[in-house]
Amino acid sequence: MSGTPVLQARALNKRYGRVVALDNADFDLMPGEILAVIGDNGAGKSTLVKALCGAVIPDSGTIELNGKVVHFRSPIEARLAGIETVYQNLALSPALSIADNMFLGRELRKPGFVGQWLRRLDRSAMQRIARDKLTELGLMTIQNINQSVETLSGGQRQGVAVARAAAFGSRVVIMDEPTAALGVKESRRVLELMLDVKRRGLPIVLISHNMPHVFEVADRIHIHRLGRRLAVIDPKQYTMSDAVAFMTGAKVPPEAALAA
Ligand SMILES: Nc1ncnc2c1ncn2[C@@H]1O[C@H](COP(=O)(O)OP(=O)(O)OP(=O)(O)O)[C@@H](O)[C@H]1O
């Protein structure tokens, strides 16, 4: 992979009291790739991606998006900059419809003279766009865009969360354990969706403990250990047991894979 990283971090530090969650952590996401981030429990993966998507403010270090330094103070700021995150808990509102969930926090409103938040919601536009986005991503097994999210299967919910991220993420999609709660068939659909998003040119950061999934879709694997990037490996050159041995410290990665 070459070129300028879409998203880059240098020397990120984050402490929670005495716990060092990030210890001079570096990160590089290249254009068009699926980058998996793996590591043992507590290695700092979630803290790293939360720093990248504005959910955690690092104590020090720099983050660059398309070569420009950014200081996200909230996930909303990161979203506005084109970074969409699919959180482990999905951040969907179960009682709301699929269309309403797709537009949660960025509702379309009808033109009018009163203040932005008093204007009436443009439901038909939101429904039309939501339907188009889901169709584009091959997710229209969902029959009714007005169906509430609580009536969907786990895989379909994940699909809505991914569709929302893919539809609005203009630069990066971050996915935290997207298949953790899913069955075999539903996981498969989500992996296919990820490859679809990649084909559309959007790079993805995937945090996962599921090695077969990581090895199936990742172009590169960032191994996080003790709060920092230990190595970056090409999944075609290593086995799953190598990756697990590197992330647990049972084996030291070869020089070429070691991060600077
Ligand atoms: N809000 C917080 N308050 C206190 N400690 C925290 C907080 N968030 C994370 N930590 C600590 O920071 C360290 C890194 O946690 P993090 O969740 O980033 O690891 P992880 O690699 O994502 O782990 P897992 O795979 O178990 O989800 C852990 O020791 C964790 O207990």
Q: Using the mean position of ligand 1's atoms as its centre, give its distance from the Cα of residue 94 in Å.
A: 27
Percent of the chain with pLDDT over 90: 51
**pLDDT tens for each residue of 87-107:** 766 667 878 888 888 888 778
Q: Using the mean position of ligand 1's atoms as its centre, give its distance from the Cα of residue 20 in Å.
A: 9
Of 13, 27, 40, 45, best ligand 1 pocket probe by most atoms within 8 Å of the beta carbon: 45
Q: Using the mean position of ligand 1's atoms as its centre, give its distance from the Cα of residue 22 in Å.
A: 9
- The finding on whether 42 has its CB within 6 A of some atom of ligand 1 is yes
Q: Using the mean position of ligand 1's atoms as its centre, give its distance from the Cα of residue 230 in Å.
A: 17
- The finding on whether 43 has its CB within 6 A of some atom of ligand 1 is yes
- The finding on whether 57 has its CB within 6 A of some atom of ligand 1 is no
Strand partners, 222: 37, 232
Spatial distance between the Cα atoms of 176 and 84, rounded to a whole number of angstroms: 11
Spatial distance between the Cα atoms of 205 and 77, rounded to a whole number of angstroms: 18
3-state secondary structure of 254: coil
- Of the candidates 72, 48, 67, which has an alpha carbon nearest to the alpha carbon of residue 205? 48
Spatial distance between the Cα atoms of 156 and 187, rounded to a whole number of angstroms: 10
Of 14, 27, 46, 223, best ligand 1 pocket probe by most atoms within 8 Å of the beta carbon: 46
Q: Using the mean position of ligand 1's atoms as its centre, give its distance from the Cα of residue 48 in Å.
A: 10
The whole-number pLDDT of residue 259 equals 63
**pLDDT tens for each residue of 22-47:** 999 999 999 999 999 999 999 999 99
| Ligand 1, atom 3: closest residue by C-alpha | 16
Q: What is the mean pLDDT of residues 176-189?
A: 82
Q: Which atom of ligand 1 is nearest to the CA of 50?
A: 18
ipTM for the predicted complex: 0.97
Spatial distance between the Cα atoms of 230 and 22, rounded to a whole number of angstroms: 12
Q: Length of the chain in residues, anyone?
A: 260
Domains and CATH numbers, the chain: 7-89+153-257 (3.40.50.300)
pLDDT confidence of 228, banded at 50, 70, 90?
A: very high
Do the Cβ atoms of 224 and 230 come closer than 8 Å?
A: yes
For the chain, the first-to-last Cα distance in angstroms comes to: 16
What angle separates helix 154-168 from helix 184-199, to the nearest 10 degrees? Answer: 10
pTM: 0.88
Q: Using the mean position of ligand 1's atoms as its centre, give its distance from the Cα of residue 115 in Å.
A: 41
Strand partners, 223: 38, 231
Residue type, 155: G
Class of residue 209 by CB neighbours under 10 A (exposed 0-12, middle 13-18, buried 19+): middle
pLDDT confidence of 18, banded at 50, 70, 90?
A: very high
- Of the candidates 96, 103, 121, which has an alpha carbon nearest to the alpha carbon of residue 111? 121
Q: Using the mean position of ligand 1's atoms as its centre, give its distance from the Cα of residue 52 in Å.
A: 15
